[in-house]
Amino acid sequence: MRGLMVASIEDVAAAAKVSTATVSRAIRGLPRVSPVTRARILAVADDLGYVASPSASTLATGRTRTIGVLAPFVDRWYFGRVIEGVEQELREHSYNLLLFSLGGYASDRQRLFNRNMVRKQMDALVVLCLSLSDQELEQLHRTEIPLVAVGGPVSGCSSVRIDDSLAAAAATQHLLDLGHRDIGHLHGGWEDQLNFTVPGLRTEGFESTLHAAGLGPRSEWEVEGDYTVRNGVRAAVRLFDSPSPMPTAVFCASDEMALGLMFEARRRGIRIPEDLSIIGIDDHEFSEPAGLTTVGQDPTAHGSIAARMLIAELAGKTGAVRDSVVAHQLIVRGTTAPPCR
């Protein structure tokens, strides 16, 4: 509790008149220390404000008690939530969280994520759904630390996520059940299709459900966004500006895009849901306030689950890290209704 000089294990040992080995055991709660000795050591340590040096400990044990999180962005709803979930779980188990943000999905390949960033810095890594090059993947796997993906499959990793295809199907089916037959589709981007599979999965769920109802997607009602509100608006503009007749409903691959669509619809006096039904996926924090019907997921839970699996694996429970598909949930609010024509 005093002094500016940081106490080392030797200081504690000296003050408690024991060896550093005993201090080490006592502090870490290991057996083979008599209760009274332990108490004395703990008291001394507390008095000296002793805290073990993480780097010394890491160097000696080879374990860092740190888990890395690799995300394309941190300032987007899904990722922020997942990170929050990971953080909470980690903190609970006295693990640290080392954050890496790539600043985009595949953008700047200069700062390729290489195994140098991983080695000796973390005991495990959670990879938030993004498109990694084969080379990056291979490097990651070669680090041989436990890996888990969140929010989308990553080749060769277990992952925790919803069944994106089924979620899209549920959204589409809801529209169908309301009687819609003319359904538009605001989907995610395609450039990264190869590795970033979520857009593909959601599209597949949409189209297969349509087909099962004897319908097919209509290309004039297919518009591309990138999951953001901003591009939801742009996509909406394209859709509304097109000369073809409007669909009576639109399935959006993310709530943010759906919200963008809502904003643009309002701007044009298109009434929701009277003139147009809208459904999204996510249950974004704005969705309830906006009254958006959606298929919800809980990213914070995804993060906790991933962290928990990793921690268990590190604790020796081999096989703790495995695929985990978590439930999604249709949430009907005010933006969907039977078609008026």
> Contact residues for DNA (CB under 7 A)?
6, 8-10, 17-22, 24-25, 27-28, 31-34, 36-38, 50-53, 56-57, 59-61
How does DSSP classify residue 152? S
DSSP H helices in the chain = 9-16, 20-27, 35-48, 54-61, 77-92, 115-118, 134-143, 164-177, 198-212, 229-241, 255-267, 287-290, 299-314
Tokens, residue 202:
């959601």
Q: Which residues, including other chains, have CB under 8 Å from residue 59's CB and lie 6 or more apart?
A: none
Q: Which residues, including other chains, have CB under 8 Å from residue 192's CB and lie 6 or more apart?
A: 105, 106, 131
Q: Which is nearer to a second copy, 34 or 116 (CB)?
A: 116
Indicate whether 289 belongs to the interface with a second copy (CB under 8 A).
yes
Tokens, residue 65:
């008690």
Among 204, 300, 312, 333, binds a second copy (CB under 8 A): 300
Q: Which one of a second copy, DNA, none is in contact with 37 (Cβ closer than 5 to 8 A by kind)?
A: DNA
Tokens, residue 318:
């081999």
Q: Which one of DNA, a second copy, none is in contact with 103 (Cβ closer than 5 to 8 A by kind)?
A: a second copy
CB of 296 to a second copy, least distance (A): 15
Q: Which one of DNA, a second copy, none is in contact with 101 (Cβ closer than 5 to 8 A by kind)?
A: a second copy
How does DSSP classify residue 53? -
Q: Rounded to a whole number, what is the distance in angstroms from the first to the last CA of the chain?
A: 75
CB of 205 to a second copy, least distance (A): 26
Q: Which one of a second copy, DNA, none is in contact with 24 (Cβ closer than 5 to 8 A by kind)?
A: DNA
Among 28, 91, 211, 322, binds a second copy (CB under 8 A): 91
CB of 60 to DNA, least distance (A): 3
- Cross-strand partners of 86: none
Site for a second copy in 135-154 (CB under 8 A): 144
Q: Which region among 34-42, 112-120, 217-225, 310-318 touches a second copy (by CB under 8 A)?
A: 112-120
Question: What's the alpha-carbon Rg for the chain, to the nearest Å?
Answer: 26
Q: Which is nearer to a second copy, 65 or 181 (CB)?
A: 65
Indicate whether 59 belongs to the interface with a second copy (CB under 8 A).
yes
Residue 278, φ and ψ in degrees, nearest 5 = -135, 135
Q: Which is nearer to DNA, 13 or 265 (CB)?
A: 13
- Of 289, 291, 296, which Cα lies nearest the Cα of 330? 296
Q: Which region among 77-85, 145-153, 240-248, 312-320 touches a second copy (by CB under 8 A)?
A: 77-85
How does DSSP classify residue 21? H
Site for a second copy in 191-250 (CB under 8 A): 228-230, 232-233
Q: How far apart are CA 216 and CA 221, in angstroms?
A: 11
CB of 6 to a second copy, least distance (A): 7
Structural element, H or E, at residue 125: strand 124-128
Could you give the count of Cα atoms lying within 13 Å of 102 in the half-sphere of its Cβ?
25
Q: Which one of DNA, a second copy, none is in contact with 97 (Cβ closer than 5 to 8 A by kind)?
A: a second copy
Indicate whether 81 belongs to the interface with a second copy (CB under 8 A).
yes
Q: At what angle do helices 229-241 and 255-267 cross, to 10 degrees?
A: 50
Among 14, 42, 98, 270, binds a second copy (CB under 8 A): 98
Q: Which one of a second copy, DNA, none is in contact with 2 (Cβ closer than 5 to 8 A by kind)?
A: none
CA dihedral 133, 134, 135, 140 (to 10 degrees): 90
Binding footprint of a second copy on the chain (CB under 8 A): 4, 6, 51, 53-56, 58-59, 64, 66, 69, 73-77, 80-81, 83-84, 87-88, 91, 96-101, 103, 111, 116, 119-121, 144, 228-230, 232-233, 259-260, 263-264, 266-267, 285-286, 288-291, 300
